[in-house]
Each structure stands twice: as C-alpha cells, then as structure tokens.
Structure 1
C-alpha cells in the first residue's frame, strides 16, 4: 500500500466517526455482519509453517461457517515478501482488508504514521479486546497516531499466538552426553563445550537470513544486559548498542562461532529447524512456532527450555511476546467485517484451534490443552514468563530499518567479516539517527 494512492484521510475519518458513534454490542455487531450481503474479505498473512498454516485454514473455514455471506480470500506470503508488499503495494481491484503487520518501528509505526492502518479503539468498545488481553500484550500492538511512540496510543492489531524465543534440545543426545536441560547460563555454556568435545554440533545456525542470528544474539543479550536494559534500549529510554553489556554480548556470539558452539551454514539454510529435526545439533535457539513441526518429526525426543538465567536461581528472561498482529487497513471497504474477523480469531474458541494445531495461543484457550511433550514445555515456559514478567521485545524492531541493519551486523560477526566494536558501532549509528529524527 502506498500513502499516495490510499483513500483521502477525510473519508477514513468520516468512516471512523460513524463507527465510533455506534452503540452496537458484540452480538448486535455479529448480527449486522450476517446481514451485510455477500462480502469478500481479503486477508494477507505470513502463517506458512506447519501448525501456523493449519490454524489459519481452520479459523477461516470456521469464520465462513459462522458468516456464510463472507468469503475469505487468503493471500499467503513469506514475512519478507509481506513486509515489502505492505510498504510498496498500490491499491488494486482487491486491496487487502486485514493484514499481518510486524510490531514496532520497522513496520507498524511506519504504516500508522502514513495513515495506512485503521485504529481499533472504536471496535474495542464493541468487542472488549482491552478486557481480553493483558495490558502488556495490548501495548505491544499500540502506537501513537503520529507513529513516533510504540507501546502507547491507539490499538492497531490483535495477535493470535504467544511467542517465546528459547532453547529446543534433543533429549536423546543430552542423555548420551550425561547432561540435563541447563538451569544456569554457565551450565548452558558448559553443555555446549561438552557437546563439541564429543563430536556433536552444539547449535546449528541457518544464516541465509538475519532472523536466526538475531534471535541467538537476543538470547545472549538478555542474559548479559538484563531485561530492564534491553527494554529501555528498545523503547529509546536510555542505553547504547556500544555499551559494555552489548559489546560483551556481541563478543560472546562471535566467540561461540570460533569455538564451534554455533555452527553456521553459509547461505544454505534460511532457518535451522529442519537440520535440527533431522538430527543435527544438540540445541536449537528458536521460537515456539517451531514446536509443532519439531514435535511432529521428533516426537518425545524434543524438549524446550527457557534460556537459563545468568545467576542460578534467578528469574528467566528472553525475547518474545505475541505473534504479528492482524490489523485492519485504512483502505478496507469492509472495516466492520474485518473487525469481526479480528474478534473471531482472538476468541477463546480460536485459542483452542491454535492449541490443537500445536502452537502457543496468545490467550488462555477455552478447553484446549497441549498434547505433545514439547508443547507442554512451551506452555509451562509461557506461564513462568507471565508470572515473572520475563519477556523482552524483539530487538530488530527498534528502528524502521533495524531488521536489516542489526541483522547484517550480526551476520558479519558470525562470518568473521567484522569485530564486535565495529559491528555494534554501525548498529548504534542507525539507532542514534532514528532517535534524533524522532525528537
């Protein structure tokens, strides 16, 4: 979508004013959707992997059963292609009504500033999302109308899945090495050394794209710098990418590669779950969205644990939160139907579908329970982080261009093309320029 070819802002504001004046309750709104005639709702998403695709197909089918007059036109794209389309696509004969948008300054804030997304506050009065979601999860999907501040302002999307970046492990390999899932950071690094000494790949890394190495760095950073410092850095409340803690995290990442703890596949793997499922690696640093596929391929041989704290017995912390939210575009011709769709996919019944698909739901399901051992681990980890307030934001969304800037710097560290100080200096340069421009 391009701001130059969107509907005039006045038209969007008028539509929002009409919506805000409605006194519909949830059931009344549902009745109105059913009486709205034949509608095609175009939905763009990036739920391509295993259970992610399954959950969307099932939810879309269920929505159509509830509203037979609404047909879902689903367009699936990779995250990279989706991001590109969101920022460059022009109005066509069938513009999207609902889109998944990455949180933070990289995508959501930019689109909000360009008036390409519709604020959902008026629909929240109808459906009560602010009562359904914890404030912390709502804040992740909130932006001020000018796009300058993430974490406050209006709500622009609702998320389907909870997400944790943690450590998957091969139970059989750990047992053969005489190891247990690590409970401290020092114990984890000892396990990496033991695995390497016994001829195992401690952690395999796909580095055709920057996301895997960014997540590996983020896990290290959380333990070295701590959650408060990481949160402050993300939200622009203080700190620097060249401070002692972040330089230490960068050095640790590079040192893991030099010691053979983190084994990269140059240009070979976009991610590393396939190699891990096939038996390469004792550990895999990755998101809980892999739990369904890994459980299917590895059965009871795969487990999941939170990154162990730097201090034994301390509270765990790691990056995560919730999946890319579904948002309503400003150019949607069916915003009321789109809002009903968002409400449907965030309902307790929808969370049952998510659980049955082998994924972590953002909210407590109505009756669904995890069926596989690894998903039980994931649910337990989510409960722990919720109790201890242990989640940190996805750091690659700290500025509009950070996914590429940070990712390329970290890929340079892994490949040995740059050192920690030079790599983090480039990252800080981008970050500082963004903060200056935002003032």
Structure 2
C-alpha cells in the first residue's frame, strides 16, 4: 500500500515522485497528436544521448520495447503497454518489473549496462543526466509538439539546465496525469452552513469557514501530529507565492527563496485560521488515520487533502463528500496545487529503439492513455487545457476531481510540496507547523527558519 501523502524523504529536485494511486478519477480525453513523418531513418534508434534527426513514422515497424517498472505500478504500466500495443500492434512494450524498494537502487546500474531498458522513470533525474544515461528529448518534443500540448508546469520537472531541474532541455516527457490536492467537503455539513457554491477566492473561503464556526461545525479537519496541516500550508504558499516561485524552491533554482512577503502572507493566513478556532483544539495530537475518521465521522466541514484519500474514505463515506480545487488568493486569480506527473518517462541513452520509445511517450498524450490513467485512479489533462470547466458543487466526486485538475492545468499551476526541497525542510516544517498551532512562533520567524533550513541543506548537499 503506497504511503498516503507524497512527501518524499529525499531531495525532490532530482527525484521523481510517485504519487499514491487515488481511488477516483474521471474519464477525460487528452490531446490527440497526429503521428507525422519526420526526418530520420526507418525505425532505428537515433544515436547518442542527444538525437537531432528523429523519425515519428515508426508505428508500422516491428519492435519490442522494454519498460522498467516498479512492482507497485505494474498494473498501471501494463495497462499503458497494452493500450499502446492495441493502437500500434507491431510494437510490443514488455515490462521488466522490480520490487519497489529496489527500483531506485537497481535502475542507475541498469541504465549504464548493455541491457538498458528503453523506457523508465528515474528517481534521480539529475544524476541520470549528469552521467549521460538519459536521452535528451528536445528533438522529439519539437517533432511531436509536446511543449504546446502539455502544461509547462507538468513538463518542468523533466527539464534540466546546468544541474537544476525546472527549465532547459527535456529528459522526461509524456502526458499529464496525477492526483488532485484540494478541498474535500462534507455535503451534509456544507448544506447546513449554507455553502452553495465553490469559493472563488481565499476571502470567500474564509467566509465559509466563519459560517461553519458560527453554526457549531468545526470548519477544518486536519492532522498535525504528522505535520499534514502542511497540505493546506502548501496550497496557501502556491496561492500567494505563485506556483512557479514555489516550484523554483523545490527545484533548487539559483536565487529562489522562501523568505518573501508572499510566503509570510500565506503563513499569516494559516495563523489567522488557527487563532479563529477553525481547527479542532487537539489538532497537534491527531495523526492521519484519526483525521480520516473525523472527516468521515462528520466532525468537520473541510479537509485539505489529496485525491489518493478516496481509496480509504470511500469505504464508508462514498457519495457523502465532494472536492474542489483550492481557490486562488484573489477572485479571478490563478489556480495552483501540488501534484506529481504519473505519465512522465525517460528514454535510456543506450536504448536501441529511441524513435519507437518516443512514440510511446507521445501515446501518453492521447485518450487511450487517459483511459488507463482514469482506470488506475488518476485525473488527467483534458483535451483543451486553455478551456477548463468551472469547478462546482454538482456532479460526482470523480467528476469534481477531474474538473479541479483541469482548472489547475489551465492556469499552468502544478507545483510541488515545500517539504520536497530537502529532508531537513521536511522535518523542520512539521516542527514549525506544530509551533504555529500552539502559538509559539510568529509567521515571519517561521518563514525565516524554514528558509535558513533550506539554505543550509543546499550548502551541505
């Protein structure tokens, strides 16, 4: 069973996060890219780690590709392989499955060997690029038009420039599918407090929280024994700082800093909600499992969590909750939210079938791949990311998750967790959030402490 929150224990600036499988997602169509012929020769691979001449007309040439898979994702990735083969019968994708706890250790050695897989999702992207183990995908990006079809914030974690992730050449690509981290709500309590529409700003959300408090309903369920109030905090950081600024910190971009007025504002907002009594008085003593029980037990209106929780709460709460994306700081502003792209893969530099492997990556942007993502519990980018549906309280939770994901995609607002910037930040943030709840630290001091921890981690890395 995957862990219930994607806070990586290791530096995420060079590591691909595998998000837990959510139990719900929605059917959607991804962009369909027409396969067009390009320069290159037949179905052979392009030489070297930086191909320049590529061929996109390889769908009718027999070949077997190898995809290195972690056991926990075998069913999902086999589904992708089967769907790809159904579309391109002459190309077979064979999975080479490794135990989850061995995957990250085995892969670098495998990529450097003579039996390297064609396709994989390296945990250490920076190391793979530095060691020349991964293919530069820029030529394929140009040939297939991925940069114009997939949200830039979904592709950014696969870009590397001068040893920093987030910009530059593309080394991981595919479609865009993953969990939605947003605002879950109890339908019965929402009706009780008069929440009839999705809040469109932090101000409107605060009005809902105040109504709940006045009605005798605990506004927010959270667990902070384990620092998972951090989901809400990260959403606030994304709102006030902007998704790109938060991602720059996680990706260790030179000059990126948390010590900004925007981060202080986000922290002040959380502090204000704490002081207003919007959380249970014992929130610092609650763990994740207890918070699930409180939410499904009707003990609070809102729950800031990721869509992976549905596999747990659906057992006795299905149909009784909904979800919407975190509203922007100001009405009309941009949506932002944390996710990890489950449709991003790399091509090994030693692959002998780079062109066919790139066709597989291109397939990940199609409705066929979206269907597989949906079946395995992910939301996926819709066919037109510029025209996202408006989040509402109507529809099923499945539909609401997809709508929320699409809203963030339309605003290019995918970011990551501050905790993923460094292990030390992960530990320090839990401590600081507990101190904030207990009234023992002020927002500006908390931000400075986190920034200092981050800076020290970078110096020692």
Given the two structures, how large is their TM-score scaled by the length of structure 1? 0.70
Partner Cα separation in structure 1 for residue 52 and residue 332 of structure 2: 50
Distance 1:254 1:274 in 2: 25
Residue 169 of structure 1 corresponds to: 185
Counterpart pick for 2:346 among 328, 331, 337:
328
CA contact (8 A) 1:97 1:338 kept: yes
Which among 145, 151, 164 is matched to residue 167 of structure 2?
A: 151
Aligned to 1:221: 237
* Cα distance in 1 between the residues matched to 2:294 and 2:405: 25
2:323 equivalent to 1:301: no
Moved more, 115-124 or 324-333: 324-333
Q: What's the offset of the Cα at 1:200? A: 4.2
Is the Cα–Cα contact under 8 Å of residues 207 and 266 in structure 1 kept in the other structure?
A: yes
Confirm or deny that 1:242 pairs with 2:259.
yes
Q: Larger relative CO (CA 8 A, sep 6+): 1 or 2?
A: 2
Alpha carbons of structure 1 residues 128 and 194: separation in structure 2 relative to 1, 3 Å: closer
1:10 maps to: none
SS at match of 1:307: coil
Choose from 94, 115, 118 the match for 1:71. 94
Partner of 1:427: 450
Q: Which has the higher helix share?
A: 1
1:288, CA displacement in angstroms? Answer: 4.3
Q: Hey, what's the Cα distance between the residues in 2 that align with 1:222 and 1:357?
A: 27
Matched, 1:44 2:70: yes
Q: Which stretch of structure 1 is more off in the superposition, 232-241 or 350-359? A: 232-241
* SS class of match (2:136): coil
1:375 to 398, 405, 424: 398
1:25 aligns with 2:56: yes
Separation in structure 2 between the aligned mates of residue 202 and residue 376 of structure 1, nearest angstrom:
24
Conserved 8 A contact 2:118-2:352: yes
Question: Is the aligned partner of 1:393 residue 2:415?
Answer: yes
Q: Is the 8 A contact 1:97 1:329 kept in 2?
A: yes
CA distance in 2: counterparts of 1:25 and 1:279, whole angstroms: 54
Gaps in structure 1 of 5+ consecutive residues: 1-13, 48-52
Report how many residues are paired: 396
**3-state SS, counterpart of residue 315 of structure 1:** coil
**Alpha-carbon offset, residue 275 of structure 1:** 5.7
CA distance in 1, matches of 2:119, 2:75: 18
Work out the CA distance in 1 between the residues paired with 2:433 and 2:117.
38
Hey, what's the Cα distance between the residues in 2 that align with 1:325 and 1:279? Answer: 35
RMSD: 4.4
1:319 Cα deviation after fit? 2.2
Q: Which runs of 5+ in 2 are unaligned?
A: 1-44
Using the TM superposition, give the Cα deviation of residue 143 of structure 1 relative to its aligned residue in structure 2, in angstroms.
1.4
How does 1:358-373 map onto structure 2 within 5 Å? 359-364=378-383, 373=396
1:100 aligns with 2:121: yes
Q: Are the equivalent residues in 2 in contact too, given 1:207–1:213 (CA < 8 A)?
A: yes
Choose from 191, 201, 209 the match for 1:192: 209
